[in-house]
Structures are given as structure tokens and as C-alpha cells.
Amino acid sequence: MFGRAGCAGDNYLPSMQLLPTVLLKPGEADRIVAGHPWIYHGSVLRLTQPAADGELVQVKDHRQRFLGVGFYNSRSKIVVRVLSPERVDADQAFFEQRIRAALTVRQRHLPQASSFRVVNAESDFLSGLIIDKYEDVLVVQTSSLGMDQRKPVILAALHGIFSPRAIVERNEASSRKFEGLPDANGILAGSLEGPVAIKLNGLQFEVDVLGGHKTGLYLDQQVNYQRVAELAKGAHVLDAFSFLGGFGLHAARAGAAQVHLLDQSGDVIAGALRHAAANGFAERCSAEAVNVFDWLKAQTVTKPHEKVIPRWDLIVLDPPSFTRNRAAVPDALRGYKEIHLRALKLLKTGGTLATFCCSHHVNAGLFQDTVLSAAFDARRILRRVATYSQSPDHPIIPMIPETEYLKGFAFEVVR
Ligand code: SAH
């Protein structure tokens, strides 16, 4: 998709010549040529003529070599989001072609799925655009001004490809305010009553696309639900930070003896219990609305001469990102260490800890170091038996490090 940055070639559009040009400073072109779409203010040498926020501009290096076209926004720290190394127009045909290309990637890597992320912004070279598919309902997020202004052509493209029952927008991402965009939430096309019933790996979920977390579900764990469930047969499973119980319900289907779900939100826990019942696991599932930190503490704090009795065979930890930015990393690591230390005390010898970190700022190495530091304090030795990443509908483009954020491990407690 990101071919070589060409000169004016066969697909040259005459109108492009009229686009304002953003000239980059020397040394700033390489990462754009390599496929990263973000251009910061500090990289810009000058603008050849005034550009309106949200409009297409062409990007050239300081020697006037054409690098691509992208959306301009003077109000954002990211002043240009490159769309293409070619002279494209951001019209319906362009979005149709790009969305179909993204869909092909999902069909190749998640062939069984009927609900998944169709477009994941930078992962699909569409910075500022997310599209999730929940069966026949689509949820759109536009987090850049240029994308937001193209909503009509994006919707037209989506109608052409999917003929959806409804298209909803969930535009409350905090990043929108950095682009000068207000919050927006509602039905853009079609009609929708109540939650959307979907199948995920064959299990039933009811998705509140207008009010649920993210766009309704944590689709990025779709593949990991199955893989973690492989470790759950006959197990007593604790699913901490459960949301609707994605991990716990898959574990129950895989033959877990008992599953206990923990989430701080009472509404979420009520929803999780409904899902357990709807899937036929009510008898083996229990749930509590609690703060996981407090709950783990209460389970592991002992009186002198008392010992913690490990009761669990499998503990899943899937907390929210504790880091909004790099400065928050040390505090986040303290939080990660604490829950791991306590979880490790509660695991039987031979039991498994399946743990996830969705913070882009904490890489896999740092995350594992944190778990090992907790294991040291708990005097436990771990065998790593699996590594996890985000599901393939959230593709990782290594040249765009920001596209990689979810990592996880399964560790068995050796002793
Ligand atoms: N495992 C879930 C996703 C978890 S997202 C899934 O696969 O769907 C993180 C969840 O943790 C959210 O549902 C949020 O409500 C909950 N949460 C955040 N902080 C918490 C805390 N301190 N104690 C308990 N739950 C918490």
C-alpha cells in the first residue's frame, strides 16, 4: 500500500499541483518514506501557501522531492497525517479501496470472525480512522480533523462495502480535543434498538455500541481468549479486570471447574453475569464488583504466623493501561508489580498466570521484568509458556511503533 514515494507519475492528478506544499527540514523525510504517517510542527521547514485545517496538502522534502499527500491541521501537534505516498484524492473511491484492502487483511488472518476491527488507523495507513464491525453494525471513530471532515464519503464507502444495518459514531476519544474536535456520540445512519447480539469465537455477547467501553468490546483480545482458555481445563479461574468476562467465559467453555470475575463496575459485573447465563455457564461462574487492588490485598494480607493459602489454578490479569504518557510509567510499574505480587501468592504451584499490559509505553521486556521482580518478592519461580500480542485485526506495523501496544505472557509457577 505504501509503495515507493514516486515522482509525478501515471496517476498524477492535475489538481494536485494546486495543493499547498509542506516542505520538510533536511533529515525529516526518511521516516515518512519508511511509512510513518506523522509530521510534527518541528519537522516543517515551511508551507508554500496557506492551507486550511483539515485539507489535503502535499509533502515534499527540502529538495522538493514529492513524499506524499496528507491531512493538514495547524492546531494539532501532528501537523500533517500522511495518507498516501501517491497523489490520491481523499474521496469515496479512495476510502472504498483502502477499507477493502484492510478487510482483506482481516479475512486472511481472522477468517472465522464476524465481528472485528475493520480499520485500525495507523495500522491501516488511515491515521485518525477506526472502524469496528459488530456483525451488521459498524462503529466509526474519527480522531483527526481531516478524517472527521470526510465522514460523509467514509459512510458512503461503508454502505457500498457492507450494507450495514446501522452506523454509529463513538467520538469521545481524548485525542479529538488535540485536533480541536468536540465529543460526538450517536447513530449516523440506519437505526438501532438496544444492544447488538454478536458471536465471538462462537460465544454470545450483547454489545452496547453506544455506551460500552471502547466501541463496545475489547476486540483486541479476540485471539487471546481462545489461547488462554487452552490452559483452563478443570481449573479454578480468577478473571481480574474482567469487563464482560471475555477470558472467564472462554475458560468456562473450555472446561474450567469454576470461574470468578472481578471488575470495579457494578453495571459491568451485572452484564458479565447475564453473559455467563446466556452462554449456559451460570452455575460455574461467579462475579464481584470490587477494586481488584483492594480485593487482592484482602486475600493476601495475613496475621503473623498465618499463611496465604493458594487457591487458584489460573489467574488472568488484564488491567486498563495505567499510563497516559511516558511520565506515568514508574507509577504504572508499581501498580503492575503489586497486582502480580499478590496474584502470584494466590496461585497454586503448577498454576498459571496469564497477564496482559496494554500500555504502549511499557514494552514487553519492561513488562516481563516487572513480573519477575514480583516473582522474586513472592519467592516464586516462573516458566514462560506463552506470549501474546494484539489480535491481527489490530495489525502491528513495526515502522510505526505506536501501532504495537498489547502484550501478554502466560507463566506457570514452577515452585
Ligand atoms: N479483560 C477484559 C478487558 C479489561 S479492560 C476483556 O477482555 O473484555 C479493564 C477493565 O478493568 C475495565 O472493565 C474496567 O472497568 C476495569 N477496572 C479498571 N480499574 C479497575 C480496578 N482498580 N479494579 C477493578 N476493575 C478495574
pLDDT value of position 12: 55
Query: How remote is the CA of residue 336 from the centroid of ligand 1, in Å?
Result: 13
pLDDT value of position 9: 46
Pocket test for ligand 1, best of 219, 264, 331, 339 (most atoms within 8 A of CB): 264
**Helix 266-278 crosses helix 246-253 at what angle (to 10 degrees)?**
20
For residues 248 and 253, give the distance between their C-alpha atoms in angstroms, rounded to a whole number: 9
Q: Is 331 exposed, middle or buried (0-12, 13-18, 19+ CB in 10 A)?
A: exposed
- 411 forms beta bridges with 353, 384
Query: How remote is the CA of residue 73 from the centroid of ligand 1, in Å?
Result: 34
For residues 38 and 28, give the distance between their C-alpha atoms in angstroms, rounded to a whole number: 11
pLDDT value of position 380: 97
Q: Which of 351, 353, 288 is nearest to 316 (CA)?
A: 353
pLDDT one-digit tens code per residue, 139-162: 999 999 999 999 999 999 999 999
pLDDT one-digit tens code per residue, 66-90: 999 999 999 999 999 999 999 999 9
Residue nearest to atom 22 of ligand 1 (CA): 291
Pocket of ligand 1 (CB under 6 A): 213, 218, 221, 241-244, 246-247, 262-265, 268, 291-293, 318-320
What is the average per-residue pLDDT within 285-312? 94
Question: pTM for the whole thing?
Answer: 0.94
Whether residue 246 has pLDDT greater than 70: yes
pLDDT value of position 219: 97
Residues 6+ apart with CB under 8 A from 179: 73, 75, 76, 128, 143, 144, 145, 148
Q: Is 358 a catalytic residue?
A: yes
Whether residue 41 has pLDDT greater than 50: yes
Q: 165: which 3 cell numbers?
A: 444495518
pLDDT value of position 8: 44
Whether residue 165 has pLDDT greater than 80: yes
What is the average per-residue pLDDT within 19-33? 97
pLDDT one-digit tens code per residue, 102-151: 999 999 999 999 999 999 999 999 999 999 999 999 999 999 999 999 99
pLDDT value of position 213: 86
pLDDT value of position 5: 44
Whether residue 4 has pLDDT greater than 70: no
pLDDT value of position 214: 87
Report CA torsion sign: 9, 12, 14, 20: negative
11 confidence band (pLDDT: 50, 70, 90): low
For residues 358 and 356, give the distance between their C-alpha atoms in angstroms, rounded to a whole number: 7
Query: How remote is the CA of residue 288 from the centroid of ligand 1, in Å?
Result: 12
What is the average per-residue pLDDT within 190-205? 97
Helix (H) or strand (E) holding 330: helix 329-346
Query: How remote is the CA of residue 320 from the centroid of ligand 1, in Å?
Result: 6
Which residue in the list 7, 285, 357, 358 is annotated as catalytic?
Answer: 358
377 confidence band (pLDDT: 50, 70, 90): very high
Alpha helices in 285-328 (DSSP H): 292-300
pLDDT value of position 17: 64
Mean of the per-residue pLDDT values of the chain: 95
Whether residue 7 has pLDDT greater than 70: no
Ligand 1 atom at shortest distance from the alpha carbon of 243: 13
Whether residue 352 has pLDDT greater than 70: yes
